[in-house]
Chain A
Amino acid sequence: MTQPHPSTASEPVVSVRNVTNRFGKQLVHDKLNLDIYPGEIFAIVGGSGSGKSVLLRTILGLRKPASGNVHVLGYDIDQLTETAARRVHRNWGVLYQNGALFSALTVAENIELPLIEHLRLPEKVVHELALLKLSMVGLPPDTAGKLPAELSGGMVKRAALARALALDPKLLFLDEPTSGLDPIGADAFDHLILELRNQLVLTVVMITHDLDTLFGICDRVGVLVDHHMIAGTLDELVKNPHPWIKDYFGGARAARARNAAQQETRDS
């Protein structure tokens, strides 16, 4: 959508090769391939049960695929040495669907946790960096001392995003970032992600159902259908003849979201 332009010429940040996943006899992914390039916002979409979360978990190394391999930031995610694992973990951030903030820790402590784990810094600096991250995601400083249970849904997502950004990662994974937010909150969150991507030169990979997000900020979209992934820009996908993709992007909701996004581009 906007700068920096993703270049398909450079080496991919995430590269999934021939990944097959199955639960017992049920096939989820069949030799699935996927490349995500530096600087792009890539969305994974698909119907319920199409294996979006399974794919994300596979990319994150939380699930070992039945066959095939996954490279993230140049490392084979299933064969990480200890040092490589540390390098990968400090160069990615993950925002889980429900935030997954540690409920026993305050918001500030949640953000400080990866900083303390990976960097050797004075306590005061760690705390101030946590406050910096908090303000980057647009949360007031007084949230720092609160417990996750005291936050609203939207604030939890922002706090979790601040934690994901704690180590200035190159790669950000978002699992349904706008689910459970009101339209205004969802819009603001979309803009926040876009802004952070542009400022911090992030690669963003997200699972989303939000058509406004898709049309508003995503550079490329991967659709999970028939155990495979069909990836492309939105313009390419809209023309795709596959019936599910046709339904998905051809529906009334998609048309409205698309018009709204175009309107916004014209206005700005």
Chain B
Amino acid sequence: MKPVKHSKPTLRRKTDNPKDAAIYQLAGDWVSEQADSCVTLLDHFAPHNDSVGLEGAAVTHMDITGAWLLVNRVLEMQRDGQTVTLSGFDERAAHFLQQADDLRRQPVQPPPPCPTLRQVILTKADSISRSLLTSLSFLGEFWLLVGATLRHPGTFRLRAFVKQCDVAAVRAAPIVAFTSFLIAIVLAYQGSAQLQRFGAQIFSIDLVTISVLREMGVLLTAIMVAGRSGSAFAAEIGTMKLNEELDALKTTGMEPMEVLVLPRVLALTVMMPLLTFLGDMTSFVGCGLLTVSTTSTSWQLFYARLTGAVHMKDFWIGVGKAPVFGLMIALVGCYHGLSVANSAESVGRETTNAVVNAIFAVMLADALFSIVFTMIGI
């Protein structure tokens, strides 16, 4: 039974004799499929007579949409002082017309007023202060939990911690290693191209290795981990919240903070230095590969230059920042996951926020570290 192909609706004056009463005949299909034709037809339907008759005997199909569009126009005409009479519609069409008429006569509630600038600013300020408060209380709750776990180490979820170490960090190792390798190649290439002009090409090794150890290695790792694992934390916890899984945890007597947040945060805090170390090492490989293959430097010379340029201090500065960055990425990710409210859209929004805010926080912290390190002279 294929759906019938609906014909165009028509609306014609019944006879051309102007002495006759203004009787119009409707025909064709007045259905939602032809709604655009109905609208055009009715928009152009403007008889000037005081009394207008509409005859529907020739209408083949009418559904509630068609009836509603017709009634809409009829009521408009009645408001303009015209008398409109409907006749000849079959039982179903008449029923739809009646129903549409009843609905149309219900009072329409006015749309909500457009907010003023003052209101917009106030609402925004309110939501910002609220999110500041909730993030503060999240941090407070987290550190209290850390304290409680230190006092009762038995409550720590070791299994979840190990799993998160694997999922969030170990599996991130290949991509962290590879991007570090590539960035080192780019840096070494640019460095040697610039330094060549001063005949100091060999110093590109110093340039790359020191900047990688102190800054680039850990920052790159943090960016990769924020994009890969921080976002996953937010999306995972957020979806669990939508699915009422967090409520289920709570009513089973398990605190999401303890079961979900703490293992994730600790996992990233512990694993970030290891990932950074891995990134540093592959950077050296990348730098060495480029230097050896494009200049007359041998691997022995590269190694000698490397060990001469690099100090353990540089290494510790980079790797020492890593746990702080890991902690921040995981906290931001989990916080945004817990902030998800009610809709799939908000999972997306919070996941984006988790990544953007985590990277922003890492950059900010890195700048602060630089200032402090300069002040204390290392």
Which A residues are closer than 8 A to B by beta carbons?
10-13, 38, 73-75, 87, 90-91, 103-104, 119-122, 125, 128-129, 132, 135-136, 141-142, 145, 147-149, 167-168, 170, 199-201
Stretch at the interface among B29-37, B280-288, B356-364: B29-37
Map CB proximity to A onto B3-19 as digits: 1 under 8 Å, 0 otherwise.
Answer: 10000000000000000
Smallest Cβ distance from B70 to chain A, in angstroms?
A: 12
What separation, in Å, do the CA atoms of A57 and B63 have in the docked complex? 28
B2, B63, B112: which has the most chain A beta carbons within 10 Å?
B2
- The answer to whether A200 touches B103 (Cβ under 8 A) is no
Q: How far is the CA of A128 from the CA of B64 in the complex (A)?
A: 13
Q: B1 contacts A38, CB within 8 Å?
A: yes
A-contacting 9-mer, from B116-124, B158-166, B339-347: B339-347
Closest chain B CB from A169 CB (angstroms): 9
Closest B-chain residue to A203, C-beta based? Answer: B1
CA distance A82 to B109 in the complex (A): 40
B202 to chain A, nearest CB (A): 57
Within the assembled complex, what's the spacing in Å between the Cα atoms of A229 and B66?
A: 39
Nearest CB to that of A37 among chain B residues? B1
Contacts of A168 in B (CB 8 A): 31-32, 63-65
Give the shortest distance, in Å, between B79 (CB) and chain A (any CB): 16
Closest beta carbon of chain B to A11's beta carbon, Å: 4
**A149 near B343 (CB under 8 angstroms)?**
yes
A200 near B63: Cβ-Cβ < 8 Å: yes
Closest to A90 in B: B33
Cross-interface CB contact of B2 among A74, A125, A132, A148, cutoff 8 Å: A74
Taking each of B33, B65, B108, B112, which has the highest tally of chain A beta carbons within 10 Å of its own beta carbon?
B65
Q: Is the CB of B343 within 8 A of A136?
A: no
Q: Are B1 and A12 in contact (CB under 8 A)?
A: yes
B68 at the interface (CB under 8 A from A): yes
A74 to B112, CA, bound (A): 45
Whether A149 contacts B1 in the complex (CB less than 8 A), given A125-B39, A167-B32, A168-B65, comes out as no
B1 CB contact (under 8 Å) in A73, A87, A122: A73
Structural contact, A148 and B63, CB atoms closer than 8 A: no
Question: Of A13, A132, A145, which contacts B103 at CB under 8 A?
Answer: A132
Task: Give the complex CA separation of A75 and B2 in angstroms.
Answer: 7
Known: A121-B35, A132-B68, A142-B109. A91 touches B343 (CB 8 A): no
Bound form: Cα–Cα A59–B112 in Å = 42
Q: Contact between B64 and A103 (Cβ–Cβ < 8 Å)?
A: no
Would you call B296 an interface residue if the criterion is a C-beta within 8 Å of the partner chain's C-beta atoms? no
> Are B65 and A129 within 8 A (Cβ)?
yes
| Contact bitstring B94-137, A, C-beta under 8 A = 1, else 0 | 01100110010010110010000000000000000000000000
Residues in A neighbouring B68, C-beta threshold 8 A: 128-129, 132
Give Cα A129 to B35, complex, Å.
11
Contact residues in A for B108 (Cβ distance below 8 Å): 141
Say what secondary structure dominates the interface of chain A.
loop
A73 touches B3 (CB 8 A): yes
- Which residues of the partner chain A approach B96 to less than 8 Å between Cβ atoms? 199
A132→B64 contact, CB < 8 A: yes
Closest 6 CB pairs of A and B: A149-B342, A103-B343, A74-B2, A104-B345, A11-B1, A168-B32
A-B contacts, 15 listed (Cβ < 8 Å):
A13-B1, A74-B2, A74-B3, A91-B3, A119-B33, A119-B35, A119-B36, A120-B36, A125-B35, A125-B69, A132-B64, A142-B109, A145-B112, A168-B63, A199-B99
In whole Å, how far is B51's beta carbon from the nearest beta carbon of chain A? 27
Q: Which of B251-266 contact A (CB under 8 A)?
A: none
Contacts of A12 in B (CB 8 A): 1
Within 8 A of A (CB), among B322-377: 341-345
Find the A residue at minimum CB distance from B348. Answer: A104
* Segment 45-86 of B: residues with Cβ below 8 Å from A: 63-65, 68-69, 72
Beyond A119-B35, A147-B342, 9 additional pairs, beta carbon < 8 A: A38-B1, A73-B3, A128-B68, A132-B65, A135-B106, A168-B63, A168-B65, A199-B64, A199-B95
- Nearest B residue to A141, CB-CB: B109
Tell me the bound Cα distance from A242 to B122 in angstroms. Answer: 68
Please measure, in the bound complex, the distance between the C-alpha atom of A125 and the C-alpha atom of B341, giving whole angstroms: 32
In the complex, A136 Cα to B103 Cα: how many Å?
Answer: 9
Q: Are A104 and B2 in contact (CB under 8 A)?
A: no
Complex Cα–Cα for A255 and B34 (A): 47
CB contacts (< 8 Å) of A148 on chain B: these are: 343
B103 touches A147 (CB 8 A): no
Q: In the bound complex, what is the Cα–Cα distance between A136 and B36 (angstroms)?
A: 21
Q: How far is the CA of A149 from the CA of B244 in the complex (A)?
A: 13
Q: Complex: how many Å from CA A167 to CA B34?
A: 11
Q: Are A104 and B69 in contact (CB under 8 A)?
A: no
Q: Is the CB of A121 within 8 A of B39?
A: yes
Please indicate the chain B residues that have their CB under 8 angstroms from the CB of A132 in the complex.
Answer: 64-65, 68, 100, 103
**B3/A87 in contact, CB under 8 A:** yes
Beyond A73-B2, A129-B68, whether A122 also contacts B39 by CB under 8 A is yes
Q: Whole-angstrom distance from the CB of A111 to the nearest CB of chain B?
A: 12
Asked whether, in the complex, the Cβ of B64 is within 8 Å of the Cβ of A136, the reply is: yes
Q: What is the CA–CA distance of A145 and B110 in the complex, to the nearest angstrom?
A: 12
Of all chain A residues, the one with the shortest Cβ separation from B103 is: A135
Q: Is A103 a contact partner of B65 (Cβ separation < 8 A)?
A: no
A159 CB, nearest partner CB in chain B, Å? 14
Contacts of B106 in A (CB 8 A): 135, 141
> Which residue on A lies nearest to B1, using beta carbons?
A11
Chain A min CB distance to B17 (Å): 34
Report how far A147 CA is from B344 CA in the complex, Å.
12
Q: Are A200 and B1 in contact (CB under 8 A)?
A: no
Smallest beta-carbon distance A199→chain B, Å: 7
Distance of A96 Cα from B26 Cα, bound (Å): 38
Q: Is the CB–CB distance between B64 and A119 below 8 Å? A: no
Smallest CB–CB gap between B349 and chain A, Å?
A: 10
With a cutoff of 8 Å between Cβ atoms, the chain A residues found around residue B69 in the complex are 125
CB distance from B113 to the nearest CB of A (A): 13
